[in-house]
Structure 1
């Protein structure tokens, strides 16, 4: 007898190998989820949370009681926290601040943008954001809690807070830092005894799994993680005419800014003749219209203040640089007002015209409505709407509109811009739409960099929205009204000015069948402006192409009598069938379909097919072949004539005249390692086993076979090439033909559970999928009151654990 676990073990081995499928979903978080009250104070998020979440206050209390210094088991002081490979580095030691400085301090007097200096790690993008963070005390203390200290209650434990895909979380670390020769290797402060910036970088590295995960990035990524805001970017080659006004207005609204030059492909961090560094992120810390008076001109000039995170003499050397002659035309009072100082600290000023000329990109992070500063002002116009989603192979990973056959399968979101902006003279409504990829940086050690993604916008009418989601025909008939570029960044954001109305936003990857998770957010002046364009979950009419030839219940039915005879022969003396007896019958009835599926699975996962031993007697085979013929007679394809598969050469249904055994081995029949799985057969029994006896009586058995016959007829409608599987993106339509409306989230879950790597659904998996759907709907309907079902814990576990 073949080993029933062989295929399972081989598939698991494949999944765990470097060639296996890339798993996107994060494991249960070990970071404490938190919320901020209206007073700005943080507290644990109410409700259930992972038991593995690290609680800073509980851990510190435990260390105080035991008199020990905290050592973080989740981010250990070894090479695994440094690099993806865990490769060792000579002379590197992990030291606590007290081993680096005789008088370690979290802050030396206070904090400022000059406390952020880059080390060996290529994370200037993070430092640019950290320097901006110091500009506002309320934002800073949100990320860097004030109860971090080397004095009061010191136990070697610190914590920092970051926004993580819609949820703030508290990241706990110990204070062991990587050093060489007693000096910090990575981010450091100007003061040798100040450690807040080094510890902030360590906490951020833990958030993504290692220090190496922080190598290379966009400043907007960190600015969003520090604020929960929404980022925009502008390319200087296509700069809007009012960019300086946008920057000025942004600073007044507490936005953060960073900028950069395109990298030199032949020389990393190459220096230009003007003293700027290519491929390097700078903080933009001030924008001012400054009074100027020369012998010939009196007026105002737009100036910008920037900072190089290196914190050294690598500064701009053109007009308005440190000690340049232009400054003599600025009144001393104005110099004091803008805090002008001339030091080799990486900070410098330049004119807006030179900024546009020499820089290539500017990034802007707008604060979210729940930001404490915004709450205090009370006049912030933006409202935020957000949803999370995913692209799943064969379900919702439809690719861009270059692929019209699958594009419409992407997630769809309806955006209602009901009124124009209050201050828009042209009557336009503004929406900032951001598409944020999830969990990519933390998976870089598995080769999972950011996908190439974008979004496309269509104007729709109420009539268009009757069908949910919008079908393929809509996108073939209608042109888009706006779109973003497709780019491999964590977040793609665009600002759109459009006529008030209703729009559908379609986020997608560039290529189809590329998996990823995302969060989509919309900032507009309209509250709750975004909804999912999804079908309602429930039952619908059976596809008209499939009609059951139901017998007349008032007349004698020889087929029913024959089935009852078969049932008694299979069931044996107890008059009922259990999952094992059901499996033997179904595997034989559908052996051709199952054989095709088994070969397909073996090809997909590169394993040899498992041969199945016969477990029915010759008489049992005749009975089951007759049953299959009868099942095929129940359904007719109304669209294309007879939908029945080829009949077995066994002929019509044969009634066994004697109670001959149908199974080999009366007491211990062999169970095939292929065919319907044990779990699937148990689920089939559970679907109709109302008394939960673990067995089916004849009426239940008859209902089950009727359902399976219907689902097989549906399957054959879509398996037009007789390949034994549904092609990618066909599951939604097939289930609708079977009488079920499902939304994308449920379809994604079904694809994760039953789909192949290529997004195909094999015959036995389709039947199992339909069984699960029917069972769960029946459980809900039994308790349904006005579309809501209520279960206590006992009822929920008892109902779901059996199905």
Structure 2
């Protein structure tokens, strides 16, 4: 199945369309606010100059070029180069990109794949900018970094050497989105020099926030063809690379470049002679240079393809894009990379529709915990955090678990070397799997039978840094005969309809034949669905009385039951507070102390002074002044609900006037 064609509307019309889902937890890189800075420049009649990424050798990198060339670099704005520049013309396409002097084919191959998937493009390229309206020499782009989207502001001064683009240059002379996006990514990574060599897998994740898996083509999985078909069908981003780090950018006689990254833009099976042929379409970020073997432009194989099919598939131009057979693909390339919000490329072989859920954990490797080694020793990693997950009672036919571990460097250490990291998968203290790598992102997929497992992240280095662990699990769609509750934690970047199906499935399971759930049903739901994680279960179960209190907070109709719409609001709050609880419980004790509760309240965007914080600890903590997950949820739901109730009643004022009965009605039920 071919990937959809790459196109977005014109720059002017693009303003009318919206992304499929708003970005969550958007952070401002270097604390720069695009709208505020642009407004300031417009009010003063100035063009923005970014002092956090200046026109200086520091932004290029001291070793990017010989010293005499570094000092020959000139920085020019698009308005100095073209009379009528555009950010985007006739849509965003991979054919807009032509790699420059910098060896960032790994990033451009990922970018080429991104242009094929509109739902991801709209996250990376904000729509509120251009050269036609409110131009002030300032632009911004967004990248996913370690669990959050980051907004990166730049000025539009681009580096030139001897009158030529140093970096990527557009095929159309007055279209500048590739060059400006590349500059923003260079700023995020610390310098242009830090783009000179990298990993396609990293760029795919940075542009999507998704999960990527690498497949060796020298030792491919037996399901490779099925994986490719599933990836194309589910609109994944795909790329590939050739070996030859010591012979990088050497073009072979057959047209394939060694040590180079490419984009996979389509895969299809077509009628050929008396059978079928699986062919793959690939694009070179150079914007030229193509495969010269079978199925290349003008090769005799196309003579045996029906004219209509040939017309639909073949684009006989030197634009860097070409077709090749699956067999030649495995011979010529070393690695295949596939990325999506969830691992939909592993959905092949399923008789029924499936969804993926994800459990996210952010924690800190400290020197005392960084004791993992390639040879497992229970004592050596006994102090490392363990994360439990349960594979449901079903008969898995294909891969059903994907585990992704990512190491995070400090913002000012983007060029730091990756440490050797990995993880063990254990069951009953026995090691079943172990994965180690020097990559930033260590990801692997598994076929696991039903049971309870633990993931133990480890590193061989005695250094302190953060890590992000994501555990993806395949869930068959809910049906009436199923006796398994869905995994409660949902990926933040999956389409909203998938999240809706999940909360609806949970609601329908516990509501049985009714259209609402009562406190008893809510108690059963919360204990069975939200206490699967060992850390969240240490603080005890949800009591009937606490569930009556939670229900009252969300019961807009004041009838003692929750409708589906009311339950949706509760579900969203519960998943949010589970994420916050896990994130703030940094020592993985299963409890929050007073300082951690204060941080959790701030993370949730709520407010509590010291007196209120002390009262909350007295009300919700145990004898050791610790708050478990169930009490934390009750506490935060009440704080959130009463905060919003006051704001609605106050209408922006700092005080409200209520009768005694109004006050008693509010506090006695909620």
Asked if the contact 1:108–1:194 (Cα under 8 Å) also holds between the matched residues in 2, the reply is yes
Secondary structure of residue in 2 paired with 1:192: coil
Residues 608-757 of structure 1: matches in 2 within 5 Å? 744=587
- Alignment size in residue pairs: 485
Match of 1:675 in 2: none
In the alignment, the residues of structure 1 paired with residue 204 and residue 46 of structure 2 have an alpha-carbon distance, to the nearest angstrom, of 35
Residues 89-128 of structure 1: matches in 2 within 5 Å? 89-128=70-109
In the alignment, the residues of structure 2 paired with residue 58 and residue 746 of structure 1 have an alpha-carbon distance, to the nearest angstrom, of 42
Match of 1:456 in 2: 424
Match of 1:518 in 2: 467
How far residue 238 of structure 1 moved from its aligned partner, in angstroms, is 1.7
What is the TM-score of this pair, normalised by structure 2? 0.66
In the alignment, the residues of structure 1 paired with residue 424 and residue 270 of structure 2 have an alpha-carbon distance, to the nearest angstrom, of 41
Secondary structure of residue in 2 paired with 1:481: strand
How far residue 493 of structure 1 moved from its aligned partner, in angstroms, is 1.0
In the alignment, the residues of structure 2 paired with residue 272 and residue 95 of structure 1 have an alpha-carbon distance, to the nearest angstrom, of 36
Residues 352-501 of structure 1: matches in 2 within 5 Å? 352-368=326-342, 381-420=355-394, 424=396, 426=397, 430-439=400-409, 443-445=413-415, 448-460=416-428, 474=429, 478=430, 480-484=431-435, 486-501=436-451
Match of 1:76 in 2: 54
In the alignment, the residues of structure 1 paired with residue 124 and residue 406 of structure 2 have an alpha-carbon distance, to the nearest angstrom, of 21
In the alignment, the residues of structure 2 paired with residue 151 and residue 112 of structure 1 have an alpha-carbon distance, to the nearest angstrom, of 21
Asked if the contact 1:453–1:492 (Cα under 8 Å) also holds between the matched residues in 2, the reply is yes
In the alignment, the residues of structure 1 paired with residue 343 and residue 426 of structure 2 have an alpha-carbon distance, to the nearest angstrom, of 27
Secondary structure of residue in 2 paired with 1:104: coil
Match of 1:322 in 2: 297
- Which of the residues 40, 44, 55 maps onto 2:33? 55
Deviations 1:332-362 (A, max 9, x none): 2112333x21112211110001111221111
1:499/1:537 CA distance change after superposition, 3 Å: closer
In the alignment, the residues of structure 2 paired with residue 133 and residue 388 of structure 1 have an alpha-carbon distance, to the nearest angstrom, of 27
In the alignment, the residues of structure 1 paired with residue 98 and residue 133 of structure 2 have an alpha-carbon distance, to the nearest angstrom, of 27
Asked if the contact 2:244–2:259 (Cα under 8 Å) also holds between the matched residues in 1, the reply is yes
In the alignment, the residues of structure 1 paired with residue 92 and residue 620 of structure 2 have an alpha-carbon distance, to the nearest angstrom, of 58
Asked if the contact 1:263–1:279 (Cα under 8 Å) also holds between the matched residues in 2, the reply is yes
- Which of the residues 341, 352, 357 maps onto 2:315? 341
- Which of the residues 148, 168, 180 maps onto 2:161? 180
Secondary structure of residue in 2 paired with 1:744: coil
Match of 1:268 in 2: 248
1:441/1:249 CA distance change after superposition, 3 Å: farther
In the alignment, the residues of structure 2 paired with residue 394 and residue 323 of structure 1 have an alpha-carbon distance, to the nearest angstrom, of 61
1:67/1:525 CA distance change after superposition, 3 Å: same
How far residue 743 of structure 1 moved from its aligned partner, in angstroms, is 6.6
Match of 1:615 in 2: none
1:531/1:284 CA distance change after superposition, 3 Å: farther
Secondary structure of residue in 1 paired with 2:338: strand
In the alignment, the residues of structure 2 paired with residue 81 and residue 256 of structure 1 have an alpha-carbon distance, to the nearest angstrom, of 29
Asked if the contact 1:309–1:346 (Cα under 8 Å) also holds between the matched residues in 2, the reply is yes
Residues 215-230 of structure 1: matches in 2 within 5 Å? 215-230=196-211
In the alignment, the residues of structure 2 paired with residue 85 and residue 515 of structure 1 have an alpha-carbon distance, to the nearest angstrom, of 28
Secondary structure of residue in 1 paired with 2:328: helix
How far residue 44 of structure 1 moved from its aligned partner, in angstroms, is 7.6
Deviations 1:426-466 (A, max 9, x none): 4x661011111212796254xx2111122211123xxxxxx
In the alignment, the residues of structure 2 paired with residue 322 and residue 201 of structure 1 have an alpha-carbon distance, to the nearest angstrom, of 30
How far residue 110 of structure 1 moved from its aligned partner, in angstroms, is 2.2
1:323/1:100 CA distance change after superposition, 3 Å: same
Structure with the greater alpha carbon radius of gyration: 1
| 2:263 is aligned with 1:283 | yes
Match of 2:144 in 1: 163
- Which of the residues 224, 231, 246 maps onto 2:227? 246
In the alignment, the residues of structure 1 paired with residue 451 and residue 203 of structure 2 have an alpha-carbon distance, to the nearest angstrom, of 34
Secondary structure of residue in 1 paired with 2:257: coil
Asked if the contact 2:19–2:119 (Cα under 8 Å) also holds between the matched residues in 1, the reply is no
How far residue 42 of structure 1 moved from its aligned partner, in angstroms, is 4.0
In the alignment, the residues of structure 1 paired with residue 210 and residue 166 of structure 2 have an alpha-carbon distance, to the nearest angstrom, of 30
How far residue 263 of structure 1 moved from its aligned partner, in angstroms, is 1.3
| 2:283 is aligned with 1:302 | no
How far residue 258 of structure 1 moved from its aligned partner, in angstroms, is 0.8
* Cα RMSD, aligned residues only: 3.4
In the alignment, the residues of structure 2 paired with residue 408 and residue 153 of structure 1 have an alpha-carbon distance, to the nearest angstrom, of 58
Residues 593-604 of structure 1: matches in 2 within 5 Å? none
In the alignment, the residues of structure 1 paired with residue 212 and residue 343 of structure 2 have an alpha-carbon distance, to the nearest angstrom, of 14
Q: Which moved more, 1:434-443 or 1:245-254?
A: 434-443
Secondary structure of residue in 2 paired with 1:204: helix
Asked if the contact 2:25–2:148 (Cα under 8 Å) also holds between the matched residues in 1, the reply is no
1:534/1:95 CA distance change after superposition, 3 Å: same
Deviations 1:246-271 (A, max 9, x none): 11111111111111111153x33223
How far residue 124 of structure 1 moved from its aligned partner, in angstroms, is 0.5
Secondary structure of residue in 2 paired with 1:107: coil
Deviations 1:208-258 (A, max 9, x none): 211111221111211111111100011112211221111111111111111
Asked if the contact 2:38–2:138 (Cα under 8 Å) also holds between the matched residues in 1, the reply is yes
1:380/1:99 CA distance change after superposition, 3 Å: farther
Secondary structure of residue in 2 paired with 1:291: strand
1:44/1:329 CA distance change after superposition, 3 Å: closer
In the alignment, the residues of structure 2 paired with residue 361 and residue 153 of structure 1 have an alpha-carbon distance, to the nearest angstrom, of 44
Match of 2:133 in 1: 152
Q: Which runs of 5+ in 1 are unaligned?
A: 1-36, 371-377, 461-473, 539-741, 751-776, 793-803
| 2:238 is aligned with 1:257 | yes
Asked if the contact 2:535–2:589 (Cα under 8 Å) also holds between the matched residues in 1, the reply is no
In the alignment, the residues of structure 2 paired with residue 429 and residue 322 of structure 1 have an alpha-carbon distance, to the nearest angstrom, of 37
In the alignment, the residues of structure 2 paired with residue 178 and residue 38 of structure 1 have an alpha-carbon distance, to the nearest angstrom, of 32
Asked if the contact 1:234–1:361 (Cα under 8 Å) also holds between the matched residues in 2, the reply is yes
Asked if the contact 1:537–1:743 (Cα under 8 Å) also holds between the matched residues in 2, the reply is no
| 2:32 is aligned with 1:64 | no
In the alignment, the residues of structure 2 paired with residue 41 and residue 535 of structure 1 have an alpha-carbon distance, to the nearest angstrom, of 29
Secondary structure of residue in 2 paired with 1:519: strand
In the alignment, the residues of structure 2 paired with residue 112 and residue 315 of structure 1 have an alpha-carbon distance, to the nearest angstrom, of 18
